[in-house]
Copies of this chain bind each other. A is one copy, B any other.
Amino acid sequence: MGKIICTGLGPGDPDLISVRSDRLIRAARHVAYFRKAGRRGQARRIVEGMLAPEVREYPMEYPVTTELPFGSAEYNQLLASFYDDWAGRLADLATTNDVVVLCEGDPLFYGSFMHLQTRLQGRVETEIVPGINGMTGCWNATGIPITWGDDVLAVLMGTLPEDDLLRHMQSADALVVMKTGRHLPKVRRALERAGRLDDAWLVERGTMPGQRVMRLAESETGECPYFATILVHGHGRRPELEE
């Protein structure tokens, strides 16, 4: 009886994979990973050159979504079947073999593996190996501490309504905004309304080839890659001494 091991890959640079994940990936005989249909896939790219020659690969390709609006009931149904199907296939494989699932960043931080994990519960043993999450790679790319002292950090998704973004941008010291993409103009407006646009950085492909780090106010105002991350660094909050 094998098990399913989800290994966090970190932010993109293969040198930032943990010693444990690195060892598991190199020793793996069965390796699965998510990717968009027709793409090589970011997770697969990170482990290029690390896989054993006799490895069997299982690319789990997300269903194509051009006909269905993202977030619609039909699309969610399609996604659920996709996860059901792969949970079944991996569980079958794991009756005789260990299976390593590659996950960008940290698997439990906005990861996709959890959709398999919930479906595998009680059917097969699973193990998760943490990774350096993508936002950590991004603030390291700026070389500036994201938080110190008693700073409050808020991690926000660019998909949120503008007023929600604004509220958090006004109340937290340090900010990370992920899933920006076509939401960039809205995120920019919210930062401007919060008086924080001039302190914001845009990081594309943090720790990866083609990394770009720039001040958001100086970047193009249109779209940016879906996985671009916006950062506002904290300044080391010191709360009033209490009691």
Residues of A within 8 A of B (CB): 8, 10-11, 13-20, 22, 69, 71, 106-111, 114, 128-133, 136-137, 139-140, 143-148, 150-157, 159-161, 164, 167-168, 171-172, 179, 207, 238-242
Report copies per complex.
2
- Pick the most buried of A130, A136, A154, A164: most chain B CB atoms within 10 A of its CB: A130
Q: Quick one: which of B17, B139, B146, B238 contacts A71, CB cutoff 8 A?
A: B238
Q: Quick one: which of B128, B147, B151, B153 contacts A143, CB cutoff 8 A?
A: B128
Known: A19-B22, A107-B145, A159-B239. 19 other contacts (CB 8 A): A15-B18, A15-B19, A16-B19, A16-B130, A69-B241, A108-B136, A109-B147, A110-B147, A110-B151, A111-B145, A114-B145, A130-B137, A130-B207, A131-B136, A152-B168, A153-B154, A154-B168, A164-B239, A171-B171
Q: Which residue from chain B places its CB closest to the CB of A131 in the assembled complex?
A: B132
Chain B residue numbers with a CB within 8 Å of A114 are: 145, 148
Taken together as a complex, chains A and B put the C-alpha atoms of A69 and B139 apart, in Å, by 33
Q: Which residue from chain B places its CB closest to the CB of A240 in the assembled complex?
A: B161
Chain B residue numbers with a CB within 8 Å of A16 are: 18-20, 129-130
A239 touches B161 (CB 8 A): yes
Q: Which residue from chain B places its CB closest to the CB of A110 in the assembled complex?
A: B147
Chain B residue numbers with a CB within 8 Å of A13 are: 20
Q: Quick one: which of B109, B161, B179 contacts A146, CB cutoff 8 A?
A: B109
Taken together as a complex, chains A and B put the C-alpha atoms of A235 and B180 apart, in Å, by 21
Distance from A187 Cβ to chain B, minimum over Cβ atoms (Å): 13
Taken together as a complex, chains A and B put the C-alpha atoms of A183 and B119 apart, in Å, by 38
Distance from A99 Cβ to chain B, minimum over Cβ atoms (Å): 18
Taken together as a complex, chains A and B put the C-alpha atoms of A148 and B110 apart, in Å, by 4
Taken together as a complex, chains A and B put the C-alpha atoms of A93 and B213 apart, in Å, by 31
Q: Quick one: which of B139, B146, B160 contacts A152, CB cutoff 8 A?
A: B160
Chain B residue numbers with a CB within 8 Å of A136 are: 106, 108-109, 130-133
B132 touches A18 (CB 8 A): yes
Q: List 8 A-B contacts (CB under 8 A).
A: A13-B20, A14-B19, A17-B19, A106-B140, A131-B136, A133-B136, A150-B160, A152-B156
Taken together as a complex, chains A and B put the C-alpha atoms of A151 and B144 apart, in Å, by 25
Chain B residue numbers with a CB within 8 Å of A179 are: 150
